[in-house]
Amino acid sequence: MSLLQIEELHVQIGTQPILRGVELQVPAGQRLALIGPNGAGKSTLFHAITGLAMAQRGRISLDGQSLLGLSTHQIVRRGVGRSFQISQLFASLTVADHLRLACLSALGYHGGRGSGLLHRLTRLGDVRERVQSQLQALELDDVADTPAGQLPYARQRMLELGLALAVDPRLLLLDEPTAGMSRSETTDFVRRIDALARGRTLVLVEHDMPVVFDLADQVAVLHEGRVLICASAQEVQTHEEVRRLYLSRREATC
């Protein structure tokens, strides 16, 4: 069974249909790149999976359990971590504080269970350890006490990747993680994603074809609210309709 299963998914924003029958199956451990022109509905699909956009019809399930109707908080608890296309950081909050908050939330510190003082202190110890190991894994330990707003852009994106990973997700959704980076920053970032996504199922919205080739086992093309093809990167590149759509778009903008 697929870890993520999406069937006949319809999402509209206002009166505008955005997703019009999306079908997508992502087996556990697979790395899938989701590509498609701007406005195709890629971010909306991530919003729908994470409870931020409401489905009018269809099904979304994780490991056989429906995610529809759950709050974002509940979906995160089921093991879904995501990063956003637009930065979600607090400019004046330090790197370590961002990770601390994300870890506290992931450990259920604010939840009703185990609210005794001893329990909370044990948890604080867990948080310290997790933050420290995350800082190292993200190669952000030298800027732990720097406000996020003062970090170079690529390191801000790295912090956002860390926030998505704080829940130790089974399914990691990354929305254009390398957009706006230089080639060398991209190469470095892809190396980090590759290491940090190991053992997880990854869905990645990405326009940069070298990144897609480096990271993805499969590529799905979203076009006009539907998945046109889901296949290997090689197959997608030679697919007649994909070529026609992308070529006609390029010619139209020349």
Residue 105 interacting partner from ligand ADP, Mg ion, none (CB closer than 5 to 8 Å by kind)? none
Residue 40 interacting partner from Mg ion, ligand ADP, none (CB closer than 5 to 8 Å by kind)? ligand ADP
- Quick note: the x/- pattern for ligand ADP over 13-42, rule CB under 6 A, is x----x-----------------x-xxxxx
Q: Which two tokens stand for residue 231?
A: 């296949």
Residue 91 interacting partner from Mg ion, ligand ADP, none (CB closer than 5 to 8 Å by kind)? none
Residue 39 interacting partner from ligand ADP, Mg ion, none (CB closer than 5 to 8 Å by kind)? ligand ADP
- Name the segment binding Mg ion (CB under 5 A); options: 4-12, 36-44, 76-84, 163-171: 36-44
Per CB under 5 A, does 43 bind Mg ion?
yes
Dihedral angle of Cα 99, 100, 105, 108, to the nearest 10 degrees? 130
Q: In whole angstroms, give the CA distance from residue 78 to residue 20.
A: 26
Among 3, 33, 43, 140, binds ligand ADP (CB under 6 A): 43
Per CB under 5 A, does 85 bind Mg ion?
yes
Per CB under 5 A, does 83 bind Mg ion?
no
Of 98-137, which residues contact ligand ADP (CB under 6 A)?
Answer: none
Residue 36 interacting partner from Mg ion, ligand ADP, none (CB closer than 5 to 8 Å by kind)? ligand ADP
Q: Rounded to 5 degrees, what angle do the CA atoms 237, 199, 183 make? A: 50
Least distance in Å: CB of 25 to Mg ion?
21
CB atoms within 10 A of CB 102: 22
* Site of interaction with ligand ADP (CB under 6 A): 13, 18, 36, 38-44
Which residues of the chain form contacts with Mg ion (CB under 5 A)?
42-43, 85
